[in-house]
Amino acid sequence: MTTSFLPYPNADAPSEELISRCVHCGLCLPSCPTFAVLGVETDSPRGRIRLMKTVWEGRVSADAPSFEKHIGQCLDCRACETACPSGVEYGKLVEAARSQILAVRRPSAIERAIRTAAFDWLLPHRRVLAAFATLSVAAKRAKMPTLLRASRLHAGRRLAEMLELLPERATAERMETVVPAQGARRGTVALFAGCVMGSVFGDTNRATARVLARNGVEVHVTRPQTCCGALHAHAGERDRARALARRNIAAFEGLAVEAIIVNAAGCGAAMKEYGWLLKDDPAWAARATAFAARVRDATEYLGDLGLREPPGPVRVRAVYDDPCHLLHGQRVQAQPRALLAAIPGLDLAPLAEADMCCGSAGTYNVTQPELARALLERKVANIQRSGAELVVTANPGCLMQIQAGLRRAGSTARVVHLIDLLDESYRAG
């Protein structure tokens, strides 16, 4: 076989070099959520890499339904990357495979319209997204999901499930362009506002700036920034993701800050990989690598910096659920736990399978609702077994998914972003 053979003229097809790093040892299988639920090799990391290889070799077409099905059922949670002793970069492989599928299977006019609306009109435009989120939350509060379910239509049920994921209220972010450090300055950073964070979890963005400022960090908020493109890349929309990445790089590169702070794990993981995303663009590759080197998750930055003063007491039994794109995508594990350990009175209990995806995974709970629900039920059962009244995490998708699962199970446990908890803790102090 010739190594130059690539069945489809698509720069984002999985490369032979990445595919060949897998030695098929199977050590990743126990950590794969879809393998845990479905128990079949083709829904394991090793099985999916084998499928990519058969497509690369031209033995199976990239638009074969079985290829699309098993690549589509992957969460892109990257737990297999953490488990793999051979350094397989699975996230890059699966996103390239999705791009490859998209390039050859020609989406229907309806799917193209949905992709354009979501990826071009909604996510990159925070005001449009904020208006959409406010309307959706109002529809949820007006019991629209109950009406939709009563319609007995499949689309109605799906729409109801999506509305039920939303929080009780959406807050758009309105912030000063500079939030000064309190006391002696220990750092200067820029805050990445994000699309969902900026239009639904605006309070968390404000809390992030407050907690950083309280710890001696000056926070800059630049306006021309846009969505990070993570959801686009996960859905195979690499060119759309690249366009957003270029806009963010241009927005932040002139700022004299030591770090770009991100409080959504999925965004941070994507932004740390801008160098890879734009590696074939000579005008942007070096700028993207320089940008990526400055990206830090808010918990990572604060954990490394250390809290200047202890926060106030929060007396509750809590668990920490690792967002996949923080733990597996960014390998940030110790810092969030160190921050939680600094909160007096917090009874931090162990959570079984804290490193396993909750089923949110970008748009996975929309595109694969049955599998997402199975994983969510597993997560909720583990939380309930822990006896926790508070679940702490650090990603908007996980927050909404786990809160919806707990509500559905009749639990009153609250789900909170770690930064919001620190902010509450400071105020309690």
Q: How far is CA 415 from the centre of its chain?
A: 16
Nearest residue (CB) to ligand SF4, 66 versus 116: 66
Q: Smallest gap, in angstroms, from Cβ of residue 34 to ligand SF4?
A: 4
Q: Smallest gap, in angstroms, from Cβ of residue 46 to ligand SF4?
A: 4
Q: Smallest gap, in angstroms, from Cβ of residue 6 to ligand SF4?
A: 21
**Torsions phi, psi for 138 (to 5 deg):** -65, -40
> What are the residues binding ligand SF4 (CB under 6 A)?
22-28, 31-34, 45-46, 48-49, 74-80, 83-84, 86, 88, 90
Give CB contacts under 8 A, 24+ apart, made by 331-334: 331/82, 332/265, 332/297, 332/299, 332/300, 332/303, 334/303
Q: Smallest gap, in angstroms, from Cβ of residue 73 to ligand SF4?
A: 8
Q: Smallest gap, in angstroms, from Cβ of residue 270 to ligand SF4?
A: 14
CB 303 within 8 A of CB 58: no
Helix residue ranges, H only, 7-89: 16-20, 33-38, 45-56, 65-72, 79-83
Q: Smallest gap, in angstroms, from Cβ of residue 378 to ligand SF4?
A: 13
DSSP letters spanning 312-365: ----SEEEE---HHHHTTT---HHHHHHHHTSTT-EE---TTTTS--S-TTTHH
Q: Smallest gap, in angstroms, from Cβ of residue 36 to ligand SF4?
A: 9
Nearest residue (CB) to ligand SF4, 304 versus 370: 370
**Distances from the Cα of 46 to the Cαs of 27, 70, 73, 375, in angstroms?**
9, 12, 14, 20
Nearest residue (CB) to ligand SF4, 179 versus 361: 361
CB 197 within 8 A of CB 167: no
> What sign has the CA pseudo-torsion 181, 302, 376, 88?
positive
Nearest residue (CB) to ligand SF4, 198 versus 359: 359
Q: Smallest gap, in angstroms, from Cβ of residue 95 to ligand SF4?
A: 10
Nearest residue (CB) to ligand SF4, 91 versus 187: 91
Distance CA 224, CA 209 (A): 18
Q: Smallest gap, in angstroms, from Cβ of residue 220 to ligand SF4?
A: 34
Distance CA 156, CA 165 (A): 15
Strands 217-220 and 178-179: antiparallel
Nearest residue (CB) to ligand SF4, 77 versus 400: 77
- Among all chains, which residue has been given the structure tokens 């939350």? 137
Helix residue ranges, H only, 200-323: 202-214, 230-234, 238-252, 265-271, 274-277, 285-293, 298-305
Using only C-alpha atoms, what is the Rg of the chain? 21
Q: Smallest gap, in angstroms, from Cβ of residue 361 to ligand SF4?
A: 8
Nearest residue (CB) to ligand SF4, 36 versus 261: 36
> Three-class SS of residue 296?
strand
Nearest residue (CB) to ligand SF4, 368 versus 425: 368
Q: Smallest gap, in angstroms, from Cβ of residue 252 to ligand SF4?
A: 28
- Neighbour count for residue 127 (Cβ, 10 Å): 10
Count of H-run helices and E-run strands, the chain? 24, 9
Nearest residue (CB) to ligand SF4, 77 versus 277: 77
- Token readout for 221 is 């908020």
Nearest residue (CB) to ligand SF4, 34 versus 100: 34
- Among all chains, which residue has been given the structure tokens 């070096």? 286
Residues 6+ apart with CB under 8 A from 192: 225, 228, 248, 252, 260, 261, 262, 263, 267, 271, 295
Bridge partners (DSSP) listed for residue 390: 318, 414
Nearest residue (CB) to ligand SF4, 41 versus 347: 41
